[in-house]
Each structure stands twice: as C-alpha cells, then as structure tokens.
C-alpha cells in the first residue's frame, strides 16, 4: 500500500459569507488556492503580531531611562565589533 502525504489535513473552518466571498475573490484574482490565501493571511497576521510586540517592547525600553542607557551602551560595544575588519 502506498500512502501519499500532501501536507494537508482536512479541517472545517467556519467563516461568514463576507469572508468566504473575499477569500474566493482574492483566489480568483491571484490564481492561488483558498488554502494558500488563508495560510498567507495567517502568516502576515503572525508577522504583524511579532512586530507590534517588538515595537511595544522597544517603546518600553526607550521610556525607561536606565533601560535606554543600557541599550545605548550595548549598541556602543556591539558597534565597535561590527566596525572592525574580519582579520583584526
């Protein structure tokens, strides 16, 4: 017996009619499958969440004078290492 794994697991995802129509329209315009459209949307959402959390954390550091000084000191040390030639 041969089993072919396609990387997909059958699942039911319930969405409202507006969302389904939007996914269908995008799929039709791009030639991508509905599955690919949804996967790309989830990946984009995850990236957005990552950068929002990153920016929030950076904002917290910049709002804390001691943390900001620590970051500046760390960058100064790292900057010196990054500016040296590989053979130094």
Give the pLDDT of residue 6: 65
C-alpha distance from residue 22 to each of 26, 33, 67, 68 (Å):
6, 13, 45, 44
- pLDDT (tens digit per residue) in 26-85: 999 999 999 999 999 999 999 999 999 999 999 999 999 999 999 999 988 887 666 666
Separation between Cα atoms, residue 8 and residue 69, nearest integer Å: 49
Give the pLDDT of residue 45: 98
* 37 close to 27: Cβ distance less than 8 angstroms: yes
Give the pLDDT of residue 43: 97
């Amino acid at each position: 017996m041969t089993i072919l794994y396609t990387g997909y697991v059958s699942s039911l995802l319930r969405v409202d009619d507006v969302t389904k129509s939007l996914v269908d329209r995008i799929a039709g315009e791009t030639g991508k499958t509905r599955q690919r459209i949804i996967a790309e949307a989830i990946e984009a959402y995850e990236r957005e969440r990552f950068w929002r959390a990153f920016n929030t954390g950076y904002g917290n550091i910049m709002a804390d004078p001691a943390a900001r000084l620590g970051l500046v000191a760390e960058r100064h040390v790292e900057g010196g290492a990054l500016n040296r030639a590989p053979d130094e």
